[in-house]
Amino acid sequence: MLLSVLAIVGWSTRSAAADYDLRFLPFAVDADEPHLAFLVGDITSRAALNMQRLSDAYPEIEALVLESDGGDAHAALTSARIVDEMNWRTIIPMGAGCYSACAFLYFAGSFRYAGGELGVHQTSSERESNFESQLTVADIIEVLSAFDVDQQVYRIMFSTPPEDMYVFSERELISLGLVGERKPSVVGDVAASEMTPSSIPEFRRYYQTDFFGDDLYPEGVKNVTLQQCEQICAKSKRCVAYTFVVDMNWCWPKHNLGVRRPDSRMISGILR
């Protein structure tokens, strides 16, 4: 499998005279060899629609080659779901870079190869309010949880300022499971099994928010999912809220709301 991917990565040496179909920008495909699609620039608001059009026009596509500085986060998330549905492989060729929202598409690949750079950071928008920014974080976590993305990746992503870029080393790519065949998402499976009307209580979630203090337990509850954290709170008569540390799977049930403060690593909730 890896040898075939390395052969595909040789796309950059192909003749510039290739007949590329550019009707679906920022995606393109070589009409003579339609098993490969390319992300060739910034991810615009039309990207997801054009990716769907591309997959309809070229059902032979097997892999998506990525080289982009990012772009529209929600268009990238929707495009990533299409990559997942189509079971495409994702490739960052040698000498190329896939940064910011482009990483969402890379994570969605059924097989992931990064010969070039993969970089992440916090999303930002001058037009978004703090509430809308929290919703964007929630959307990112929800979509990426289906793509076998390690919790450590969230910690790195949400703790890197939008003006900076964290580029994963080759060792990190391997240790975090970001190269090779994508495994089923354990977190996603657990969440799906728990999220039933009879077992999940009603919580209002506040993303990128810490309810500091007023902890029920001095050491919190470690090694749990967000859904398990909510269940722990719901089962205690004294618990009215919680704060969950995303990158550490650490739950802090609360007997009161504490002091609310922003923190990109945290998700907090209030029992309705």
pLDDT in tens, 46-68: 999 999 999 999 999 999 999 99
The CATH number of 2-183 is which of 3.90.226.10, 3.30.70.100, 3.40.50.10800, 3.40.50.720?
3.90.226.10
Phi/psi at 166 (nearest 5 deg)? -95, 115
Q: Where are the domains of the chain?
A: 2-183, 190-271
2-183 matches 190-271 in fold:
no
- Sorted by sequence, the CB contacts under 8 Å of residue 235 that are 6+ apart come out as none
Phi/psi at 240 (nearest 5 deg)? -120, -10
Q: Each residue of 85-108: pLDDT tens digit?
A: 998 999 999 999 999 999 999 999
Tokens of 260: 């609310």
Which among 267, 260, 255, 261 has a CA at the least distance from the CA of 228? 267
Tokens of 102: 């482009």
User: What average pLDDT does range 72-84 have in this prediction?
Assistant: 95
Q: Each residue of 160-211: pLDDT tens digit?
A: 999 999 999 999 999 999 998 886 543 333 333 343 434 455 888 888 889 9
Domain spanning 190-271: which superfamily? Answer: Hepatocyte Growth Factor (3.50.4.10)
Q: Each residue of 199-234: pLDDT tens digit?
A: 455 888 888 889 999 998 888 888 888 888 888 888
User: What average pLDDT does range 229-247 have in this prediction?
Assistant: 88
Q: How far apart are CA 17 and CA 39, in angstroms?
A: 18
Q: How far apart are CA 87 and CA 1, in angstroms?
A: 15
pTM above 0.85, yes or no: no
